[in-house]
Amino acid sequence: MATLNTRVLFFSLCLILSKKATSQLDELWLVGDEDDDPLRALQTRHERREEKCDYSVGNWSYDETYPLYDSNCPYLSSALSCQRNGRPDSYYQKWRWVPKSCSLSRFDALKFLGKMRQKRIMLVGDSIMRNQWESLVCLVQSVLPTHRKKLTYNGPTMSFHSLDFETSIEFCWAPLLVELRKGNDRERVLHLDSIEDNARYWRGVDVLVFDSAHWWTHSQKRSSWDYYKDGNKLYKAMDPMVAYERGLTTWANWVEINLDPSKTKVIFRTSSPRESGQKCYNQKHPLPSSSEPHVPQQSRVLKKVLMKMKYRVYLHDITTMSAYRRDGHPSVFKRAMGEEEKNHRFAVPSSDCSHWCLPGVPDIWNEMLSSIILTKAA
């Protein structure tokens, strides 16, 4: 009887294991239902498992081994060179981001360049995206001989070239992604359904990183356009988030029609938080982490548009983690000041709480970007 029970238990266990294996095999083929290659399906499944790592949730940890490059990097704009402009503290340079559910590797310039050998990466967007581009260039340039790197310019683009790796790190100025044009009467019109004048510079790029948020919420007083145009209709006013969604939809349609997902990886970075007035002045440490971070309207609209896309776009969420870093903005150190100004800087009305000092917070965005590129097919 004991032997019989043992055999029944053994066969029951085999049946359970067999069903589990069959279920896993079914899952594998379901993942690969658009591709008959099971190896490709397995790789896709592996990538999806990796994407469960949410880099955006974590905390800032002080680390004396940072920053990752010298503040005298020759590719830094003067407005971002806070140390050169007289900022007395350097604490803001020494914080690394520690994700809650996974690890974030320190930026490795040679590894990044090796992955991007004979490839192009382009960061597309506004001045905050240029901020990130300068950070990325400074992160890689120190491992390259002086005579084996150069800058080139073409229309709204500027490119840093590593001649030995045949790699280019490019920036394209397109803060709205869609086209802003002047009409015959010199009035400025934002064309919500036109993008090709900007997008022609994005073709042939291996990794495209986009951002577009801040310009859409400029007040009427600061707006860069007089009218919206959608189809044949002109609008003097429109809800900014409605316009933003229409503009992003035009971008999404262009991506799906013109890009090949096997050749071009597309990443969309969420909006960088900005403070008003003097809120970032004299800040020296990150704010404590909040349990319920604020999600900007732009992020909700962006996620809504991405969810409708068939093209696989990686959402690079930097909004909440960056919101804790009021200390990282240039504030009054967006330019060099004389001794008298330094002594009375609290009275200076002009303070930059939108951009970021370098070295600083965008270096961590680029550590995340590098991890995204290195751990997934690009």
Of the candidates 159, 355, 363, 370, the residue annotated as catalytic is: 355
Considering 126, 211, 317, 352, which one is annotated as catalytic?
352
Tell me the sheet residues that pair with 172. Answer: 124, 157
The C-alpha atoms of residue 209 and residue 166 are separated, in whole angstroms, by: 19
- 127 counts as catalytic: yes
Compute the distance between CA of residue 138 and CA of residue 136 in angstroms, rounded to an integer.
5
**CA dihedral (330, 332, 334, 338) positive or negative:** negative
Tokens at 107, concatenated: 């930026």
**Catalytic annotation on 46?**
no
329 is catalytic: no
Catalytic option among 90, 127, 223, 299? 127
Residue for token pair 């990796």: 50
Active site members: 127, 352, 355
